[in-house]
Structure 1
């Protein structure tokens, strides 16, 4: 049986979406990932989807509220932004809660190339730190 992980962020449009897709792609035999936001944006950022596609991952993401997952058990709940870590409701379900934070690539200002580079760097950092953390729990 697969272990379950919930990845939380504020808007559930960039970091948590990329983490969900990367976990399901890289660790899908042992982990099933879900993502949600404390204040869902209602969309998945196009550059997050593009960064995933560049890594060979097709993600059909949907920005969801954490409320959708209340009452469900997870082996791990990971917050990937400081705001979600601070404002995340007390998780009443089973599971360890950890924070592995990343800067928000959607807030990067500059050229299109600089914005793109921020999404790629965030994708790679999530793959290394979040997937690495979960792989170490097996």
Structure 2
């Protein structure tokens, strides 16, 4: 099964989602991309994922255009706030989903607050993508 997870910068939420989905089942083909990819994965995203036992330190933000000609079982957007516009994907897609999350990289305040926002969003991503895996993906793999 091929899953593409999209966000604008492909530096935080989509990378964390990618890491969790891949951790649930190593046989899934999981990719992530963005419409305006950042230069690198957000270091705080790498840190909180490492604390969960998942290494995304070698992930690199990619442009969604490299995946347009491929067929996908799922394309999932993860943008969250009303001020954000989620990318659209015009490729060959069986199922399109939106599972939105706040962008922790937009958090402002103390180091402790920013850290807590990354952990909160990471926990939400893990929970919602695990539910998606158990209820949608895993039954199709039997």
Distance (whole Å) between structure 1 residues aligned to residue 130 and residue 30 of structure 2: 11
Matched, 1:64 2:73: no
* Gaps in structure 1 of 5+ consecutive residues: none
Aligned-pair CA distance for 1:62? 0.3
Q: How do residues 98-113 of structure 1 correspond to structure 2 at under 5 angstroms? A: 98-113=97-112
- The CA deviation string for residues 9-45 of structure 1, in whole angstroms up to 9 with x for no partner, is 000000000000111012324x221100011112100
Q: Secondary structure at the match of 1:76?
A: strand
* Gaps in structure 2 of 5+ consecutive residues: none
Distance (whole Å) between structure 2 residues aligned to residue 27 and residue 115 of structure 1: 30
Matched residue count: 133
Aligned-pair CA distance for 1:135? 2.1
Are 1:42 and 1:64, in contact at CA under 8 Å, matched by a contact in 2?
no
Are 1:78 and 1:98, in contact at CA under 8 Å, matched by a contact in 2?
yes
Aligned-pair CA distance for 1:80? 0.1
Greater alpha carbon shift after TM alignment, 20-29 vs 37-46:
20-29
Moved over 6 A (4+): none
Aligned-pair CA distance for 1:84? 4.8
Q: 1:21 aligns with which of 19, 22, 34?
A: 19
Are 1:40 and 1:65, in contact at CA under 8 Å, matched by a contact in 2?
yes
Q: TM-score, normalised by structure 1?
A: 0.90
**What do you get for the CA RMSD once the two structures are aligned?**
1.3
Aligned-pair CA distance for 1:70? 1.0
Q: TM-score, normalised by structure 2?
A: 0.88
Could you tell me which residue of structure 2 aligns to residue 80 of structure 1? 78
Distance (whole Å) between structure 2 residues aligned to residue 84 and residue 132 of structure 1: 24
Distance (whole Å) between structure 1 residues aligned to residue 3 and residue 109 of structure 2: 34
